[in-house]
A and B are shown apart, each in its own frame.
Chain A
Amino acid sequence: MLRYLHGNQLDAYPVLRDSMFRDRATQFHDRLGWDVTVDARGQERDAYDDLDPLYVIWEGEGGRHGGSMRFLPTTGRTMVNEHFLHLTDGVAIQSPFIWECTRFCLAPTAESRVAAALMLAGGELMRAFHLSHFVGVFDARMVRIYRLIGSSPEVLGQQGSGRDMVAVGLWEYSHASRARILLRAGLSSDLSEAWFNRAFGQETAMQAAPLQMSA
């Protein structure tokens, strides 16, 4: 199931929390070789985890982490604006309608539909809170993963090439792709709505735009 949890709510789900931070260490430190901090318990955390971000987490069997991503509003402190301005010609990306998405992570054992479920959740956030874009930093190895799940960003700026490429990208909200993503995630619209509603107490379709159920 999809959980939408703020930083201050994580402690109510210790298994989910710990397995998420461990899986992040596995993905970003062990596999991708990023320069991230892993603590003695084998968990990867950074300063942005202390800013009460919103986590979207796929909870699998035994309450364990299956995949996750982390959101922060770009009007406040973000990784992109604090560490990667050189990739955007010094332009800080700031808008109430753009959130930063970082630490997109999949558990080593995650089924392929988990990535689609996370994408679906991202879309639900956009739909409910009128977001136009997500912005985030990614490297060469993530390009393939994003392409695989059908969610390639628009590149705002990049540095390096080949395996050393680091880029800042924008993901735009597409209403039309929701049905397709639901299919890929193997989830019904109602179920996704119910998970969202439980977390936020509102429908995702706040703007009452007609649903394009073309698929």
Chain B
Amino acid sequence: MGTELELEPYLERVERAEGLEDIQTLIVALRDHYHIAHIVYHWVSSDGEQYGCGTYPPVWVQRYVDQDYLRIDPVVIGCFQRFHPVEWKRLDWSGKQARAFRADAIAHGVGNQGFSIPIRGPNGQFALFTVSHDCSDAQWADFTRAHQRQLILIAHYFNLKALEFEQNRLQEPARSLSPREIDTLTFLAMGYSRGQVADMLSISEHTLRAYVESARFKLGAMNTTHAVARAISEGLIMVGSATRGAAGDWPGRSAPRQATGTGR
């Protein structure tokens, strides 16, 4: 596992990244370089918005959001209060939910080993950079020992980029949505399908798509899910508790999916 990475050219590529798609490409390249199962960058804001880039199978990403695993994932819970790199083995997996979550993750190919680097950014921003693999404890210890410093550096470079993207977004003029756009995003955030939302608003799905598209554009979001997450985080729409309602987006997924907030 893992020869030494030529760090400088790699970090230069990170610096040149212009969007999450570039970060995604860089993560795949890094994973392939290390010959490990997965690498993921995961942003979790204090209001529950999350998004990520990485190599997890889209099915697992979808399942993570659908099952609301963010709320029970020992990696997220454990790392949120720490700022040093964390071995997954050291986290509290004793609870029934945590054990079931771990089994599910392994079944989805995440790997039996993991190492996460919590990142604290300005104003309470939080992100996680994670590498995972399927191997023995000894092999994994060798890998993390050899690459820890490099991984910390790369993790923070990714985060700086994410913050830069975020700042570009925040510096845009204050956004406002029309009442129809707000209705649309609110119902999508509550978990209704496009067809259902169109029915509830007495409009065609075609028209609904136009509302979604304009809202997406105004919010500078890449797709519907992202638009919903942003609308929630900016307080443009309100759905239950923000944490439950927010939905994340993962570049590289095959098709845009429905918002998964439950609105319970």
Q: Which residues of A contact B (CB under 8 A)?
A: 6-8, 52, 54, 72-73, 75-77, 96-97, 125, 128-130, 200-202, 206-208
| Chain A residues with CB below 8 A from B90, complex form | 200-202
| Chain B residues with CB below 8 A from A7, complex form | 81
| Chain B residues with CB below 8 A from A125, complex form | 84
Are the CB atoms of B81 and A96 closer together than 8 Å? no
Are the CB atoms of B145 and A130 closer together than 8 Å? no
Kindly name the residue among A6, A125, A200, A202 whose own CB sees the greatest number of chain B CB atoms within 10 A: A202
Interface majority SS (helix, strand, loop, mixed), chain B:
helix
Other CB < 8 Å A-B pairs besides A129-B84, A129-B152, 9 of them?
A7-B81, A8-B81, A76-B121, A76-B122, A76-B124, A77-B122, A96-B153, A200-B90, A202-B90
A159 to B119, CA, bound (A): 32
A21 to B121, CA, bound (A): 27
Given contacts A8-B81, A73-B120, contact A96 B145 (CB under 8 A): no
Return the chain A residue nearest B152 by Cβ. A96
A76 CB → nearest B CB, Å: 3
| Chain B residues with CB below 8 A from A96, complex form | 119, 152-153, 155-156
Given contacts A77-B124, A96-B156, A130-B148, contact A200 B81 (CB under 8 A): no
Q: Which residues of B contact A (CB under 8 A)?
A: 80-85, 87, 89-90, 119-125, 145, 148-149, 152-153, 155-156, 159
B86 CB → nearest A CB, Å: 9
A7 to B120, CA, bound (A): 15
| Chain B residues with CB below 8 A from A72, complex form | 83, 120
Are the CB atoms of B119 and A75 closer together than 8 Å? yes
Are the CB atoms of B152 and A75 closer together than 8 Å? no
Are the CB atoms of A54 and B152 closer together than 8 Å? no
A22 to B65, CA, bound (A): 44
| Chain A residues with CB below 8 A from B145, complex form | 206-208
Return the chain A residue nearest B89 by Cβ. A201
B80 CB → nearest A CB, Å: 8
- Cross-chain pairs A/B with CB under 8 angstroms, 19 sampled: A6-B81, A52-B80, A52-B81, A54-B84, A75-B120, A75-B159, A76-B121, A76-B122, A77-B120, A96-B119, A129-B84, A129-B85, A200-B90, A201-B89, A201-B90, A206-B148, A207-B145, A207-B148, A207-B149
A200 to B148, CA, bound (A): 14
Kindly name the residue among B87, B89, B120, B125 whose own CB sees the greatest number of chain A CB atoms within 10 A: B120
Given contacts A201-B87, A202-B87, contact A6 B82 (CB under 8 A): yes
| Chain A residues with CB below 8 A from B125, complex form | 76
Are the CB atoms of A76 and B152 closer together than 8 Å? no
Are the CB atoms of B148 and A75 closer together than 8 Å? no
Q: Which of A52, A77, A97, A202 contacts B152 (CB 8 A)?
A: A97
| Chain B residues with CB below 8 A from A130, complex form | 148-149, 152
> Nearest 6 pairs between A and B by C-beta?
A76-B120, A201-B90, A130-B149, A73-B83, A96-B156, A52-B81
Kindly name the residue among A52, A72, A96, A130 whose own CB sees the greatest number of chain B CB atoms within 10 A: A96
| Chain B residues with CB below 8 A from A128, complex form | 84
| Chain B residues with CB below 8 A from A6, complex form | 81-82
Return the chain B residue nearest A73 by Cβ. B83
A54 to B81, CA, bound (A): 9
Given contacts A130-B152, A206-B148, contact A77 B82 (CB under 8 A): no
A208 to B80, CA, bound (A): 28
| Chain A residues with CB below 8 A from B159, complex form | 75
Return the chain A residue nearest B156 by Cβ. A96
Q: Which of A75, A77, A129, A206 contacts B156 (CB 8 A)?
A: A75
A207 to B85, CA, bound (A): 14
B43 CB → nearest A CB, Å: 14
| Chain A residues with CB below 8 A from B153, complex form | 96
A208 CB → nearest B CB, Å: 7
A186 to B89, CA, bound (A): 32
Kindly name the residue among A7, A76, A125, A201 whose own CB sees the greatest number of chain B CB atoms within 10 A: A76
B252 CB → nearest A CB, Å: 26
A196 CB → nearest B CB, Å: 11
Return the chain B residue nearest A8 by Cβ. B81
A130 to B151, CA, bound (A): 11
Kindly name the residue among B89, B123, B145 whose own CB sees the greatest number of chain A CB atoms within 10 A: B145
